[in-house]
Amino acid sequence: MSQMDRVVIIGAGLAGLAAARRLKAAGYDVLVLDKGRRIGGRISTRRADGYLFNHGAQFVTARSTEFSEICLSAEQTGKMALWDIGRKAPCFSGTPDMRGLAEMLGDGLNIIQQCEISDIAVIDAQFQLTDTKAQHYQARHLLVTSPAPQTARLVRPLSDEAASIAEQARYHPCWTVMAGFATPCDGLDQIASLSGGHIASATAERARPGASGLTQSLTLQANEAFSAEWLEAPDTDSIIRMLMAEFGRISELTLPEADYLSAHRWRYAKVEQPVDAQSKRLFDVGAASGYLGIAGDWHPVSADIRPATGQRAEEAFLSGHSLAEALISTR
């Protein structure tokens, strides 16, 4: 493998990790750069004050062969387990942290976290990336897997076509509330993926497989209408108050006072409008010797015969995987 086959991938979410694994297996020299503190993007787990919250994706479904293999391997290594929450497709949860899936996918990859790319140029036929700490990274090929609005901004100086494709996608926001309880709460641990009123999903983290040792905690995700209406709320206290009250109403539980309370605003949570299914993924950028590629849940690949919606992590994984296949086929 020549040094010229270095690929830099922006994003260590499922799309970036899927692409990185496939390219590494094909012999490319792969470097993944991610602005987050931890691997996984929206497959995310927060630990705070002795509590655990899966505040991004609640579970993953596996319909395709590629992603089913990944989930089965996560199951065999104890990172995930089947979780029966009454859905048709097999649902897998982390045991209990969802981020375990991303950690498994990232194992053996060269990944730099807390590296936010702010500028990209082509210099001497190579992509040159600059992060917010003024560090530079060079590569022959560049794959960008950040959410669509961020991707559009990053790739605009390289390719109007790629940026215009990314600009077609739209996201729903999501307000998430996390509550931890030092005083035991009867009935809470049976709550899994409960919905109603403003709440799209309420889950007691102890309801997950492998989670019985956790301290009692609750993760609430608001529905799209509520999240859009309150997206720019100046303080999180009112969001917490409204969603905790709504949970009390739909669950009919009397909660003790929470020992830990926090809210997280996902500006880009689930895809509302993916890009057209026929849109290009790989671009020949004039001055560069290699290719620019784009992937992510907003440029999804369907897991079965139904059209992709971009609403499931599996489709983000398949998007990254198929971008890697496209790059390999240019050799």
Ligand X SMILES: Cc1cc2nc3c(=O)[nH]c(=O)nc-3n(C[C@H](O)[C@H](O)[C@H](O)COP(=O)(O)OP(=O)(O)OC[C@H]3O[C@@H](n4cnc5c(N)ncnc54)[C@H](O)[C@@H]3O)c2cc1C
End-to-end CA distance of the chain: 12
Which CB sits closer to ligand X, 140 or 270?
270
Of 97, 89, 99, the closest CA to residue 67 belongs to 89
CB of 145 to ligand X, least distance (A): 5
Which CB sits closer to ligand X, 126 or 193?
193
CB of 249 to ligand X, least distance (A): 21
CB of 287 to ligand X, least distance (A): 22
Of 123, 119, 115, the closest CA to residue 285 belongs to 123
Which CB sits closer to ligand X, 43 or 81?
43
Q: Report the relative pairing of strands 117-123 and 126-131 from DSSP bridges.
A: antiparallel
CB of 185 to ligand X, least distance (A): 23
The residues that touch ligand X, with contacts defined as CB under 6 A, are 10-16, 33-36, 41-43, 56-61, 116-117, 145-147, 150, 174, 176, 221, 266, 269-270, 296-297, 312-313, 316
CA distance 30 to 7: 5
Which CB sits closer to ligand X, 145 or 216?
145
Q: Maximum CA pair distance of the chain?
A: 65
Cα 125 → chain centroid: 31
Q: Provide CB contacts within 8 A for 285, sequence distance 6+.
A: 122, 158, 159, 291, 292
Which CB sits closer to ligand X, 291 or 317?
317
Full DSSP string of 290-310: SEEEE-STTS---SSSSPP-S
CB of 297 to ligand X, least distance (A): 4
